[in-house]
Chains A and B, each alone.
Chain A
């Protein structure tokens, strides 16, 4: 069973590396959205610093969401998902591997890019550990929740704006906790509470959401 998990991870990484644009696009999107804000609200550094926790988190959240839109689409179209559903391997395990692979490349890259953009927004360097940790704990939740939506709409010809509509309301706790952690750090307060909450939500998401994703995929495949 664990060998299938490892094999799927390897397969997904291979697929992602043979089409690197899909990895890079969300990162570029993330950077552009961050760059839009100084242009919209003005370059005043004090204001940008105050806003930076929220800006970074909103941009990261949108980037993760957009990168997930096509998570299962090609697998759906070429019949791979049917093969997963009829296979003896538990589907929740397979989807967990798939989402993990996606996060390992696209999510992790986003986490690594974030400090650079945060510094450009004037976030002090002492806040960077909290930024990294909160994104590290928060983005897997975003990926898993987004995957539920992606699984539900994979059969639709034009999913379009549906995914954000379904999933963004569910992202709110992560947004509050993540940007809250960063804001606390910015004010020189301890952020441990936020981070612990994020960690427990991440545990909850990893244990429960693969089942919801699997249910969504079975429904979409069975249509």
Chain B
């Protein structure tokens, strides 16, 4: 397998412009003769489907939800970055580029990140044009706030529902194209396989989640925008339905999987309450702008109510360790610091896995109405879940799995190692390196969907003869369809005793324990022993009631868990092989005396892309060397 990144030459500021010019164009009259399948309808998928249809391509869009408006992009709270520099505080495309590369701990591709920073401004324009009600100042101009890891105010937001509003913008653009007949929408359809013929992606196989019908759909190109695989940890901030099936099946069909071990833990989530817990709720990182994080200095104080712990007995550990960034230190640093405090026995709450996020000072300084205006809905949500009033007692928070920087390997055109298979948004690996900055996920999803794929897919399609699409009754298509039916039959045939969720929980415990915030060789090796055992038990003791020809949520879940049970293993294998600490990947063997991550640029300044070699064979690790021509490799320092 060869990893050709297709990065255009020339100075970094000119690469994208040059590339856009160099890409072949599809004759406008021919565009309707090309069909593109988009899987996923979130920010990346929705934006791509709408934009491609606007250009004139025939588009089909698939999502597992009952409506494209429900994709999990909707849950992003905080905001979206844009290098507009409306506030004149020193922001620029170059600074956003720099912050993103540095935030990603120099494990992202420079050229991709620069392009992301460039189009960030177009995204803001596009969204405002669509009617996204971003927060405004009294003069009617757009408001910004600063967000985790950034020293400039470049985050645009719509209350605590920025993801929702951006998604509704993309959804409305998509629905407009559906109404015009330019996009065919298939909701409640789960993609279960990529159709690859002669090494080229030609379509997908889906299961209609209402009728259970297995259907093949052929196209000239396939875009996967199916999100991340954070649910491999079972408990995460992802939606219950989020899954890695689409990218995992693509991986097994020949798409390289890059940096699976780069998974982000979000520092501010509501702590777990018990075994019944089905997901973790994120509290926007923007809260860290006005909240102070602390734990008691002494273990003995942990049981006391927060109000009875005097100021002198509190350890504002982020402010203490990172004076210049304080409570706004990047996500991985904040998460690990919380874990450390809890490991020392200074965690708070019933489980001892929690730290305080305290608004007392801000309420005193700004008054409760101001805090209400900024975070009212978040505070309300917190109170609804925990039954505690955060205006009176400090919030309890703890890190949780949130985002996956790893994903299918793509080149500069967002094309995977399978020609014709493009990967967008969180599903690809490209822009965030080893760690993603706050408010950058929305930016990347929309950048890929609105401003990258509409150009780069044209370059691919221009090389295909219009109308040369494979027929849906082609034997190769039918054979792929059969493998999907067979897999479903295999799952039903187990007839065991345990629920899909049971195995998912078991996997999650192993993943979180050995491959969560801190990783080490012994733990990862242990995980690599345990995961195959769980998988073995899964394939021997799973129970799915009902049949495949009806709505069957157990079957849906079982298929996803089956894939997570394989994906989790690759994640651990990648973590084991990356013998350095970088960004969110923290190997305990590689840390400074002060507990900071130690990168090894000599050996690991590369992307690790895994190639599937068939069942029972070990996957092969390929590398794409990362060259930093525009920026200097530097150690992250948030002190």
**Interaction A to B:** no
